[in-house]
A and B are shown apart, each in its own frame.
Chain A
């Protein structure tokens, strides 16, 4: 079992997201006394009792306005696991922040108010989680205390959610009835809901199985940096440093280097403590080959019989993140995909997606801030791509506006454009 679990939450103060996280941190004793003091003082100022949501809101503007604006990262650990939470705002105007938080998450925690059932916001969050291929979704049916801890209310939400989620691609979906405010089923199992036989939220987070989520089949090693010590001791040393993006690499393996197509074998996989027997994702290592080949940053090492698609024409889903300008056909951007940098031109917008209804608008002529759509583009250099759903590392990219240097889009690759 992986020792680190990265999970993303989305939501506004109203559905109790910050309270839930505050509760997880508080009940697992991960908040410190001086933080609690600060929260108590701040709650007092606002004339409230201990408001656990104040634990998570970090920036001055957020505390003043009582809202979460940006992604905040929080940390807590239990003897079983270390947790990294990407805590993101839930409102539609912060879709880009949600996408950002979701990009590295193993699990998405979605809150549904037991009284209101599945609303537009829950659908939107679930869709983003599935678009970003978060393998595990946990739906916390919150505020169970306000529906008398009724099993019927819980089952109704579950039914509703399942029906909607059938349209999405969600490998693992679970439901937990909780009250973040009262602490029911957050850390400990609640006596108030004897009909619920599953684990508490924390137990679920501690035990969810993530080992099979990473791609251990397709060897992908994007070369990040070439190490040449040029010292007497390591006169001819030439190592290719990078982070394994898929598969398992071993000394002796046959490899091919893209884009040149030259083949060689792995001589050694080096770390500061000496050579190692194998490397797998997400290890950061240095690879040496048995032949002298010209290799530089942006090249990719893989197996001759298992290569990514090499192409300049790509179809992808994108989320637009820039408030100043929209994406339009014929526009040009810089692209960063693995360690490769190139420029692209947008060829076509296939459709823009309404993320609340999943309706596809095929007449769309632009994609603006927080909107999601499917595009095709052509790049100046060949890219080495995999489908995002097969490999998050080699299937993702960002677009950068070359005039402002802003990161303007997050992209998930579907494949090579047809024709």
Chain B
């Protein structure tokens, strides 16, 4: 008997440790769930961490209203199966209440508005810890973020004032009004996520696998034809065999051409791909060299 864990089981153990630590030390945590593959894996890890008991915290979905229907159905089914309370914080409600103004034009997106909705939900429900499915390999400012990422009264991240994080000893002390964003899958890569989905037979929404869809091209990305996005001149929709590498707001999430209709084929594609998933499919990160860092400072996921 060799006492060695496979890399997926070692990552799993680390994530479960973090999720239990939060359950033990915080009064009111919630798990942010977007329906994306990372939050799906995170939810599965939470299920494992507390079995045979239920996950001891609710799921929180910040809903831009611009959704893939398949993802919303999936979300509702998972919450029901697990018997976990689902809280939906709606960007539409924030807009209707006049607290943010919707962008207009063909490039309008609700991406940035989500921050206000999220911070309102945190205040309303008095969450003191929020699990997020961010990974450090996704983006360069995330590479520097702690597993326990401290947020002040305004939900802001201070990249230069982060607490040192040593061994597996996490400092979860906060004052009233502050909270911690917790990233239990920080050390996973995109490939790890897919390998885990395969090995553990984790269910995922159908749009991750190759399917036919009406798309149009913008800035080298394939965007789904949808009711929320105005098309500009020359953006003619056509049918293409595509899949999604990330799942977010339908107006800014690009699909990639692919015939990978099984997890095995997706893994082959991911292993061979030469573009990061955010670079290839997320308009929100293309704004500048430090787009993510700037949004995170404001309180973004």
Contacts and interface: CB of A to CB of B under 8 A. Distances in A.
Contact of A284 (B20, B47, B160, B167): B20
B164 A97 contact: yes
B104 interface: no
B164 A3 contact: no
Nearest to B170: A336
A284 B17 contact: yes
B136 to A, nearest CB: 5
A282 B13 contact: yes
> For this complex, into which size category does the number of interface residues on chain B fall?
35 or more
Interface string B1-37: 1111111011111101100110110000000000000
A336 to B, nearest CB: 5
B169 A227 contact: no
Interface in B137-196: 137, 140-141, 143-144, 159-160, 162-169, 171, 173-175, 186-187, 189, 191-192
A2 B95 CA distance: 51
Contact of B24 (A63, A214, A225, A272): A225
A410 B276 contact: no
A397 to B, nearest CB: 7
Contacts of B275: 32-34
Interface in A94-147: 96-97, 99-100, 103-104
A3 B7 contact: yes
Interface in A22-37: 32-35
Given A58-B143, A211-B4, A405 B167 contact: no
B189 A75 contact: yes
Contact of B280 (A34, A103, A216): A34
A272 B48 contact: yes
30 contacts: A1-B4, A2-B4, A3-B5, A3-B6, A32-B273, A32-B279, A58-B143, A60-B293, A70-B162, A71-B144, A77-B189, A96-B164, A97-B164, A100-B164, A100-B166, A103-B167, A234-B52, A270-B52, A272-B51, A281-B3, A282-B17, A283-B5, A284-B12, A284-B17, A336-B171, A339-B21, A392-B167, A396-B166, A400-B173, A405-B171
Interface of A: 1-4, 32-35, 38, 42, 57-61, 63, 69-75, 77, 82, 84, 96-97, 99-100, 103-104, 211, 214, 216, 224-225, 227-231, 233-234, 237, 241-243, 248, 270-272, 278, 280-284, 286, 297, 321, 334, 336-337, 339, 392-393, 396-398, 400, 405-407, 410
